[in-house]
Structure 1
């Protein structure tokens, strides 16, 4: 069994919750606000500290099945809609086999199911958790139009009344009563301002946390998040897994240590996590991006860095992942690093990212044959845009590289 990483489990969960909130584009606090409100209502219910923590973290992760900006727009602008259950089922499926977060799977599955329609056989604590998150999730949807203009405190009566309209149908009456009690104070609503949300997260991170995560579990969690990113667009399905596998393969040929290879595979799984903040219409555009769209796309590697660098023990992984668009000639992004400052692992990741994208089938084209993709890499190497040694290494093992880059190929 691999040893625990030098990071608290809470740091990892909270940093990855930041990734989930990127889907909101300009509104990047939805999950955190849901978690804060769930914990506040749980305190009124006099639940144990352990249960309050569980509900807080459930709030952080409840939208783990959402990667589309279109779906997020539905979530914050409509009380209910026909496709609301899809992301709940996806989220539950993602976590069902991941032991450290398995307990969140069933509440996530039912967090958009009205109270009156919850299966009777569900345990009481699961029903409570799912319905509480549903309630405060809808509170946040009602409050969303008021966060930016300072009108929230003037709108709390209207929001509370809207929740009461669904007492006994969508929401458990006991939870509605607890919410009404908790939300009587201005403090309840002021905690939802972004600077206060960040202060709450910082306070939580300073609390003792005995939970740890091993490298194997981190890799499994990275795989979950790669599936979220790749599900954002039909153009990127299986991309992160292919990059991870190919990067690991090349690292082995280039004498990277087994530990470094495993870390690089994790970086490959997470390298595009910043794309969660790229609007669907930009990511899904089959034609050449215009200057504005390209500038939006080019933010994603820095967003990846901003998320991963906050996790103690993952500093190298964060840097490698952030540098997967850096070019040895210094013309890449987001840092414009010169070749001598680019770690080998980052250079490997860049080659793996380009080759995988070229050989992968996309909705608008078939993947290139391995020989054509290799020729293109050779041209880039001649221009100083990728590491020539790594490109040559891939060429020496072309069949194995092609197989690694296409996880679902025969």
Structure 2
């Protein structure tokens, strides 16, 4: 790969529909689904919505709801690994195929729990799941659905969109999760989204006939019978199926629904979306909680110290917030592993910057920051990853985020060690100057940390004086 040069002057107009459609691919990765799952589900759902007579305005809201249905997917990944001693992505992929019957559920637990663990660990995990399975399932889905709805609101989507995400796993017969809502009490967006999701899962794994057969078998239990009938009518149209294989499916959906209801995303909205999606990224692991926000903060302080303009700093903050988006494609069995990684596992870790580039470069609003996400683990001496770039190939913007990322990684808890005191982190980074990290960026960080320490010390002295006066 050539040099990484972020394009700060990208001025392309950004439409919300395109941004959300493109960013949904990151959610597909986290759910272990083939890329395009959310987009295909959206195409299916929009046709069902049209068939039952939804208004244009509701169809446009349904578009966003289905694309963002998995916004909370990262929040239960670590818990799945912990409970089932398994790869969360494989688990999630296969879990979407079971119909909830007891025989299927038992087979699923036995075939997905602790396959790489010791016999005793696997036995204990299976016993716990069999004893507390109902509560475990409710906990996992409740965490996912509530978190997804919360993030959707932070991204400025409507209550209708958030309620659809919140109720995605409810079933027509009232046996769904997390709240056992039934029938028409389930928001129509959620009813359509769940049906569309199941159709795509079976379509991509077994084909058109299997998808039709599966939803028919769940009519009246999982799905509203009238909704299944509406899909059966849609399924009679050959062009409906043909378009599902179209590489330009995103644009086909947009032209079908959104010309009158799309919006242009301004700079403030882009900031909101980047900040909200950073929460999706950081929720992937308990060890990365708040990481993206802290890297953003450190990066901005370094950039300010180095005299970067306000507009450049704003742009760089978005890059810092999304620099780890590729981690959504890495299993928590690797991300949260407490012991030494195998060579194969470390090779997977080294792929996350590549995944970040692949996601961001296809989002026009964020394509200009993709080189920063791809380069934040490179080193000046060429010993970094994933591309092995050297000094003159690494842009200053990448160097700033790299210094911020390393400092936060050292001073935060990790699966294999506790957080380091700041003094120890600084000592380690001192030895990395001009081999791994840029001296100018690092000096700016140290200057900022010293200023913060001085201010904190001054505040502490003032507080002590005030308390002493009050006790006299």
- Is TM-score (shorter-chain normalized) higher than 0.5? yes
- Which range moves more in the overlay, 46-55 or 230-239? 46-55
Sort the Cα spacing of 1:120 and 1:386 in 2 relative to 1 into closer, same or farther, 3 A: closer
Q: Tell me, yes or no, if structure 1 residue 247 matches structure 2 residue 299.
A: yes
Give the whole-Å Cα distance in 2 for the aligned partners of 1:14 and 1:296. 26
Give the whole-Å Cα distance in 1 for the aligned partners of 2:55 and 2:442. 56
> Which residue does the alignment assign to 2:358?
306
Of the candidates 56, 67, 73, which is equivalent to residue 93 of structure 2? Answer: 73
Whether the 8 Å CA contact 1:240–1:268 is kept in 2: the answer is yes
> Which residue does the alignment assign to 1:221?
273
User: Could you list the per-position Cα deviations for residues 290-318 of structure 1 after superposition, in whole angstroms to 9, with x for gaps in the alignment?
Assistant: 22112211111121112222233534322
Give the whole-Å Cα distance in 2 for the aligned partners of 1:334 and 1:220. 29
- Which range moves more in the overlay, 242-251 or 56-65? 56-65
Give the whole-Å Cα distance in 1 for the aligned partners of 2:12 and 2:157. 14
**Where do 1:340-355 residues align within 5 Å?**
340-355=392-407
- Which range moves more in the overlay, 346-355 or 136-145? 136-145
Sort the Cα spacing of 1:95 and 1:398 in 2 relative to 1 into closer, same or farther, 3 A: same
Sort the Cα spacing of 1:133 and 1:401 in 2 relative to 1 into closer, same or farther, 3 A: farther
Q: Greater Rg, structure 1 or structure 2?
A: 2
* Structure with larger RCO (C-alpha < 8 A, sep 6+): 2
Q: CA deviation at 1:143?
A: 3.4
**Where do 1:31-46 residues align within 5 Å?**
31-46=38-53
Q: Tell me, yes or no, if structure 1 residue 112 matches structure 2 residue 169.
A: yes
> Which residue does the alignment assign to 2:368?
316
Whether the 8 Å CA contact 1:76–1:142 is kept in 2: the answer is no
Q: Report how many aligned residue pairs link the two structures.
A: 388
**Where do 1:53-132 residues align within 5 Å?**
53-67=60-74, 68=77, 69-70=88-89, 72-73=92-93, 75-80=95-100, 82=138, 83-100=140-157, 103-117=160-174, 127-132=187-192
Whether the 8 Å CA contact 1:5–1:213 is kept in 2: the answer is no
Structure 1 gaps of 5+ residues are: 147-151, 404-410
Q: CA deviation at 1:357?
A: 0.5
Let me know the Cα RMSD of the aligned residues: 3.0
Task: Give SS of 2:265's match.
Answer: coil
For normalisation by structure 1, the TM-score amounts to 0.85
> Which residue does the alignment assign to 2:433?
381
Whether the 8 Å CA contact 2:337–2:415 is kept in 1: the answer is no
Task: Give SS of 1:397's match.
Answer: helix
Sort the Cα spacing of 1:202 and 1:5 in 2 relative to 1 into closer, same or farther, 3 A: closer
Sort the Cα spacing of 1:201 and 1:295 in 2 relative to 1 into closer, same or farther, 3 A: same
Whether the 8 Å CA contact 1:359–1:402 is kept in 2: the answer is no
- Which range moves more in the overlay, 133-142 or 11-20? 133-142
**Where do 1:247-396 residues align within 5 Å?**
247-382=299-434, 384-396=435-447
For normalisation by structure 2, the TM-score amounts to 0.74
Q: Tell me, yes or no, if structure 1 residue 51 matches structure 2 residue 58.
A: yes
Q: Tell me, yes or no, if structure 1 residue 203 matches structure 2 residue 252.
A: yes
Of the candidates 6, 11, 16, which is equivalent to residue 18 of structure 2? Answer: 11
User: Could you list the per-position Cα deviations for residues 112-159 of structure 1 after superposition, in whole angstroms to 9, with x for gaps in the alignment?
Assistant: 11124499999979721111111121223333432xxxxx14xx1x44
Sort the Cα spacing of 1:180 and 1:235 in 2 relative to 1 into closer, same or farther, 3 A: same
Task: Give SS of 2:286's match.
Answer: coil
Whether the 8 Å CA contact 2:324–2:353 is kept in 1: the answer is yes
Sort the Cα spacing of 1:268 and 1:238 in 2 relative to 1 into closer, same or farther, 3 A: same
Give the whole-Å Cα distance in 1 for the aligned partners of 2:230 and 2:214. 15
